[in-house]
Amino acid sequence: MNLAPVADVSTDVNDFIHIRTFGKDAKETSTFISNMVGYAKDRGISSCLKHFPGYGNNVDTHTGSAYDKRSYETFTNSDYLPFISGIKAGVPSIMVSHNVMESVDSSYPASLSKKVITGELREKLNFSGIVITDDLAMAAVKSYVTDGSAAVLAINAGNDMIITSDFETMFKEVLKAVNDGIIEKETINNAVRRIIAWKHAYQLM
């Protein structure tokens, strides 16, 4: 599995994310994304688009919170396009950023937001594959939760897989949440079904 390609749109060299992008507008980025997803798929590599819903010109979420104040139309007319292109090309997974998409949910980072993941990525973009978080131990998440419950929020928001450098703490929080009924077992089962389907498709099991 390759946690790439970066589907963020950036044409400004001053953007934090620019150096990791194709440096092209939405249309050209979409073409690159479609080609890369297809290339990887043909060679048995499982690609992962990132960072939904689009990083834009926001600051580094490794070190602090990022509040994306851009209009919803900016996302639908630009940032979403490479993700739509990748989904049409059959990308199996998409990583969600910790940016706060204020036009959709001003209360939580995208990675912890049901409105962003379920409402936008699942329902509006019709993505049925694996949704995966960026590292939940990053500073942008710690600004919202500090007790290890970030993984619980992330799973209930619609993520299927969790990336974290604080695995032991978050594992215990998730297990407790399932046992306490805070996370429904069907939520876990749905995520596992998608993961198993992905592993079968790429002959990993």
pLDDT score, position 57 = 81
- How far is residue 6 from each of residues 50, 95, 120, 143, 162, measured CA to CA in Å? 5, 10, 19, 25, 18
pLDDT tens track for 151-185: 999 999 999 999 998 889 899 999 999 999 999 99
Q: What is the mean pLDDT of the chain?
A: 93
Of 12, 25, 60, 62, catalytic: 62
Active-site annotation holds for 18? no
Active-site annotation holds for 62? yes
Of 68, 79, 134, 160, catalytic: 134
Predicted structure pTM score? 0.94
DSSP-H helix ranges across the chain: 26-42, 72-74, 80-88, 114, 139-142, 150-157, 167-179, 185-201
pLDDT tens track for 104-149: 999 999 999 999 999 999 999 999 999 999 999 888 888 777 677 8
Q: Look at residue 58 and tell me whether its pLDDT is greater than 90.
A: no
pLDDT score, position 159 = 97
